[in-house]
Amino acid sequence: MSSRVRVHLRVEGRVQGVSFRAWTARTADELGLSGWVRNREDGSVELEAEGPPEVVDRLEQWCHQGSPASRVSAVRRLELSPRGDLGFVVRR
């Protein structure tokens, strides 16, 4: 089993205009994960996160709750191959 995993998450609900990206980036950074987060044109937010499996799972659980003003209706997960990126960024 790999010591690192990478996942793509698509978060649906009221997740734009409620600081969801900033909260996600801060949480991922605090957890020591790498990857990115961005808004999608359809109103959802997508992100990729890479790190130890249990830490990536913690970020995914956070995404189910979201920022204080958000209302998450679904989180869809896709497993990816780790790439070894460094840092976590907010994309436009």
Q: What is the pLDDT of residue 57?
A: 98
Q: Does residue 2 surpass a pLDDT of 80?
A: no
Domain holding 54, by residue range, is 5-84
> Is 47 contained in some domain?
yes
Is 38 noted as a catalytic residue in this protein? no
Total number of domains in the chain: 1
Q: Which two tokens stand for residue 9?
A: 């998450």
State how far the alpha carbon of 67 is from the alpha carbons of 1, 6, 70, 79, in Å.
Answer: 32, 22, 5, 24
Which H or E run contains 55?
helix 53-65
Q: Which of 2-6, 16-20, 86-90 has the lowest mean pLDDT?
A: 2-6
Is 77 in the active site? no
**Active-site annotation holder among 10, 39, 58, 83:** 39
- Closest to 65 (Cα-Cα) out of 31, 18, 33, 29: 18
- Cα separation, 45 vs 49, in Å, equals 13
Q: Residue 92: pLDDT band by 50, 70, 90 thresholds? A: confident
pLDDT for 32-83, tens place per residue?
999 999 999 999 999 999 999 999 999 999 999 999 999 999 999 999 999 9
Identify whether 12 is part of a domain: yes
